[in-house]
Amino acid sequence: MQNENKKTKLQRFLYGIKLGIKLSLLPKSVKKFHTYPLVRIFRVLGDISFILFISGYIPRGSLIFYIIFPLAILQLVYIMIISTIKFCYLIYL
């Protein structure tokens, strides 16, 4: 009897994971925006810039710093906006 109860709990857990993977946390318009090539390039460059900025490998005052800093800030703002959209969309669901 106890094995059947565990099996059903495991099955329910796996079913929940399967549904969670299929659940979309972004509206269709934002998903479409993510597929644009220019946005993908910005996301990659922004992520690299953000990692370099946070790690501190780039000395302040250098030319590369002045290129990376705005990209890192834009990426941070972009991440915050997407996170807010995801949160609001999740509440809306």
Give the per-residue pLDDT at 38.
Answer: 92
Give the per-residue pLDDT at 37.
Answer: 92
Give the per-residue pLDDT at 5.
Answer: 59
Give the per-residue pLDDT at 77.
Answer: 93
Amino acid making up residue 71: L
Give the per-residue pLDDT at 1.
Answer: 47
Give the per-residue pLDDT at 93.
Answer: 66
Buried b or exposed e, range 54-79, using 16+ CB within 10 angstroms: eeeebeeeeeeeeebeebbeebeebe
pLDDT under 50 in the chain at which residues?
1
The structure's pTM equals 0.68
